[in-house]
Amino acid sequence: MRTRTWIAIIAGAACFLVAAGCSKKVTKVEEPLQKPKTEQPVPKPAESQAVQLPDSFKVEDLDSKMKEILVPVYFNYDKYDLMPESVSKLEKIAPFLQSNTAIRVLIEGNADERGSAEYNVGLGESRARSIKNYLTTYGIPDNRMEITSYGKERPAFPNCGSDESCHAKNRRVEWKILAK
């Protein structure tokens, strides 16, 4: 009889545990006292009511500004010294580079088609170096400017022949942006 009693106790305990484990809990959710307010849609401002940002917050199109400022600088025949027109261009370029300190440039020297390739590479380098030296004296750090020379290899206007105004357009320094 002892064995039957133990079996009955174990069976009863098992039924109790199964029944207790399967019971579902019901959570009662109370309704709020007040209905939540629905948000009114925010009206869009009329075009005449557009927000005006102060000048310090206006976005500037740096690419178009660079194209406007970094224009070719021209030189006289067989020379690398700066002409008055060149200095006036550089007086616009230097403040732009000072205020945009992330910009790094490559200064590309060029020559017209007359003379040997070797001579014109040297002349183009001297032209690029004269521009870099001017900008350095204006306060632009040396490490933000690199120079190169293409000599007569990259004319803006090829096959000028005896047309001096065509040759004059090839004696130049141009700019390439390395970083902005």
The mean of the pLDDT values for the chain is 83
The answer as to whether 143 is a domain residue is: yes
Task: Specify the pTM.
Answer: 0.66
Low-confidence stretches of the chain (pLDDT < 70) are: 1-4, 6, 8, 11-60
The answer as to whether 109 is a domain residue is: yes
The answer as to whether 124 is a domain residue is: yes
Q: Which of 160, 37, 133 lies closest to 171, judged by CA? A: 160
Q: Which of 143, 180, 174 lies closest to 70, judged by CA? A: 174
**pLDDT one-digit tens code per residue, 15-24:** 666 555 555 5
| pLDDT attached to residue 164 | 96
Helices (H), the chain: 2-21, 62-69, 84-99, 117-137, 164-170
Q: Say whether 53 sits in a helix, a strand or coil.
A: coil
The answer as to whether 14 is a domain residue is: no
**pLDDT one-digit tens code per residue, 40-60:** 665 555 554 555 656 555 556
The answer as to whether 119 is a domain residue is: yes
Burial (CB < 10 A; 0-12, 13-18, 19+), residue 80, is buried
Give the total number of structural domains in the chain: 1
| pLDDT attached to residue 62 | 79
The answer as to whether 157 is a domain residue is: yes
The answer as to whether 82 is a domain residue is: yes
Residue 108: CATH number of its domain: 3.30.1330.60
The residue segments making up the domain with residue 88 are 59-179
The answer as to whether 128 is a domain residue is: yes
